[in-house]
Amino acid sequence: MDKEKLKKTVVFRGMEDDELDAALAALGAAERKYAKDEVILHAGSTTDMMGLVLEGSVRIESNDIWGNRTILSHIAPGQVFAETYAIVENAALLVDAVANRESKVLMLGIGSAAILGHDASLWRLKLTANMLSISMQKNLMLSGRSFHTSPKSIRGRVMAYLSSVSLQTGSDEFDIPFDRQQLADYLNVERTALSKEIGKMKQDGMLTARKNHFNILKSGTSL
Amino acid sequence: MDKEKLKKTVVFRGMEDDELDAALAALGAAERKYAKDEVILHAGSTTDMMGLVLEGSVRIESNDIWGNRTILSHIAPGQVFAETYAIVENAALLVDAVANRESKVLMLGIGSAAILGHDASLWRLKLTANMLSISMQKNLMLSGRSFHTSPKSIRGRVMAYLSSVSLQTGSDEFDIPFDRQQLADYLNVERTALSKEIGKMKQDGMLTARKNHFNILKSGTSL
DNA sequence: ATAAGTATGTGGTTATAACCACATTTTACG
DNA sequence: CGTAAAATGTGGTTATAACCACATACTTAT
């Protein structure tokens, strides 16, 4: 495996060569090849290893008890999967990790023993900090999404979402990074229903919108 | 502040006295008192400090642009808040942290500088690992919830949820940790609508349910 | 064992969103 | 430009879930 590439990944970022070597050894790093559609990690099992995609692509999918499949995400080279399950003890995977095509994956044993290992070497600190960064980033996205999709009505979701963007930009006029279809998917609603609701919100004087540019009119509602 | 209590918190777990001292110093730990309903951290701002509740209770609430308030959670003594915003750089809070009653909070500067600080002391490693554990735990809950609430229909959500529980328990017969009302809240649906849907699923031969005990019948659907 | 209180289920009605079939607008590009 | 393609919006219909008002079942305490 290419060390220079590894040093650029989120996992090993900031490490020197010797640190990387030590880390790889301690984590029992093992490069594995998977054929297209081969299952890397099975839902229901536990793991103390996470995967770092080197080549190809891994998809995360769910197959519910009644046989319905949902594809949840795709993991690109340089990115990791199953890190949460590897670190949290006894957490059964809710999803399968499947090679989307012929792929190379670096499996890394980061079960909490590995992370906590009781010498305070620099590589261990860096690794842990990197994992923390990955996890928190994900966390932020997840809690945002959870917050934006918890209202039951479309209008509630749109308001929650636009409020967040407004807070982040510190302005009541901004562009959102989604087109209508993407916003609909993000909010778990149907596109045309979303268009209609945004139309109504315009009529109600809550906002103006043109494509992905929005302008919040605070006067509209609760005053 | 009471060091013995601190050493039992998720943040400082596993530290020796001297490590705890070093950590508190490095993090610029500052105990603060807040009056009931005093805002500790404002939505829209950024912070490099997280809060550890010592006494009282902190509530996390959202006030959207149009003035609607939603209470998202309550933080009890020994638990932390705003840790994600403190560690992820430039992440604006989407929520307010407010003292729910007169409360004491230990503010800890864990901005990434503090975490990454370039000496590999043991306290730093332990702290980072503890934060990682907190974050991943939360992550697991959040991604579970996101997964369970993304289907649009009640039936879809129930199926997603029960599938997960079934995977975790490794059985198609299990108890869930919710009563109907709680499950409805968790899935963001209305209680009586949930009861009805579970009734229909019984009729359709997908499952049997009595109170919080469920039995999945795989034959019912896709075969 | 009974009554009170809590949890769960059901029927009926209404509001809302999904869904479908297009109209209109915007964008890309030959 | 002018046309094709993509994105967005709208009307109408149907499916679904919220909502309300209770009925029933289960739990607990006396």
Residue among A66, A120, A221 minimizing CB distance to B122? A120
Instruction: State the first-to-last Cα distance of chain A, in angstroms, to the nearest integer.
Output: 62
Confidence at residue B15, expressed as pLDDT on a 0 to 100 scale: 95
Pairing mode of beta strands A213-216, A207-210? antiparallel
Q: Is nucleic acid strand D under 7 Å from B152's C-beta?
A: yes
Confidence at residue A66, expressed as pLDDT on a 0 to 100 scale: 84
Among A114, A126, A75, which residue's Cα sits nearest to residue A96?
Answer: A75
> Three-class SS of residue A82?
coil
Among B108, B98, B85, which residue's Cα sits nearest to residue B27?
Answer: B108
Q: Tell me the per-residue pLDDT of B92-105, one tens digit each, with 9 for 90 and over.
A: 999 999 999 999 99
Distance from CA(A53) to C1'(C13), angstroms, rounded:
54
Other C-beta atoms closer than 10 Å to the C-beta of A147 total: 19
Confidence at residue A64, expressed as pLDDT on a 0 to 100 scale: 87
> What pTM value is reported for the model?
0.91
Q: Specify burial of residue A120 (Cβ count, 10 A radius: 0-12, 13-18, 19+).
A: middle
Chain A CB contacts of B217 under 8 Å are none
Q: Whole-angstrom Cα distance, residue B93 to residue B177?
A: 31
Q: Distance from CA of residue B154 to its chain's centroid? A: 24
| A and B: number of Cβ contacts within 8 A | 181
Starting from the edge strand earliest in sequence, which strands make up the sheet with B213-216, in order? B173-175, B213-216, B207-210
Residue in chain A nearest B95 by alpha carbon = A164
Q: Whole-angstrom Cα distance, residue A80 to residue A13?
A: 13
Confidence at residue B218, expressed as pLDDT on a 0 to 100 scale: 79
Starting from the edge strand earliest in sequence, which strands make up the sheet with B30-34, in order? B30-34, B103-109, B49-55, B80-81
Q: Tell me the per-residue pLDDT of B195-216, one tens digit each, with 9 for 90 and over.
A: 999 999 999 999 999 989 999 9
Find the residue closest to C16 using CA and C1' atoms.
Answer: A153
Q: Following CA atoms B135, B137, B140, B142 in sequence, which dihedral angle do they give, to the nearest 10 degrees?
A: -60
Q: Whole-angstrom Cα distance, residue B121 to residue B108?
A: 18
Q: Following CA atoms A142, A144, A147, A150 in sequence, which dihedral angle do they give, to the nearest 10 degrees?
A: -50
What are the residue ranges in chain A where pLDDT is below 70?
118, 219-223
pLDDT, averaged per 10 consecutive residues of chain B (223 residues), comes to 91 95 94 96 96 96 87 94 94 95 96 74 91 95 95 96 94 95 96 97 93 84 40
Q: Is nucleic acid strand C under 7 Å from B149's C-beta?
A: no
- Is there a contact between A188 and B152 if contact means CB atoms under 8 Å apart? yes
Residue among A44, A131, A162 minimizing CB distance to B170? A44
